[in-house]
A = this chain, B = another copy of it.
């Protein structure tokens, strides 16, 4: 029965180095872009797994004051072989869809450090539906340091060059 609780499965070997990501993270962030007013938001992010070499990812943000829903995105983090990144990090792909009609296929690497590590990802060719606002290119940096996750997102969109858009700091909740 699909409605039964899923059994607890062992992590796939390719995902084991990233066990620290699993669970729910929450916190707050700020957004800006040359074409809009800056804004503050609260956010919740979850990473889950089913024993395969990827994590399911979902994210929701709400307006920091009104609680109104703002953004959401969902997709999957794919962990490649250890030697898959040219610079010695672990190769990673992140595919996700946005309700704005935008999909990102990010690729890059995870570089471990003493505190945790950083994912450096970029999407040189964002793909959008016919009705979506034009987004051309994004970069995303996710830093994990114990129970803290912080990230930065930059994008080239609506005719602007690659420009800082979002930054947030989340803490582990469960």
A residues adjacent to B (C-beta < 8 A): 1-4, 6-7, 9, 26, 42-44, 50-52, 54, 56, 58, 60-62, 67, 69, 72, 74-76, 78, 80, 84, 91, 93, 95-99, 101-103, 105, 107, 127-131, 173
By a CB distance below 8 angstroms, the chain B residues around A58 are: 74
Check A72 against B56 for contact (C-beta < 8 Å): yes
A6: chain B residues within 8 A (beta carbon): 69
Residues on B with beta carbons closer than 8 Å to the beta carbon of A107? 129-130
Contact partner, A44, options B2, B54, B76, Cβ 8 Å: B2
A-B residue pairs in contact (CB < 8 Å), sample of 10 = A4-B67, A56-B74, A74-B75, A74-B97, A78-B101, A80-B131, A95-B98, A95-B101, A105-B128, A107-B129
- Closest 10 pairs (CB-CB, A-B): A75-B97, A50-B69, A2-B44, A76-B99, A74-B74, A95-B97, A103-B103, A54-B99, A93-B129, A2-B42
Identical copies in the complex:
2
Are A93's CB and B101's CB within 8 A? yes
Cβ–Cβ < 8 Å partners of A72 in chain B:
50, 56, 76
Nearest-neighbor residue (CB-CB) of A105 within chain B = B129
Report the nearest B residue to A76, measured CB to CB: B99
Q: How far is the CA of A128 from the CA of B6 in the complex (A)?
A: 28
Among the listed B42, B60, B67, B96, which residue makes an inter-chain contact with A97, where contact means beta carbons less than 8 Å apart?
B96
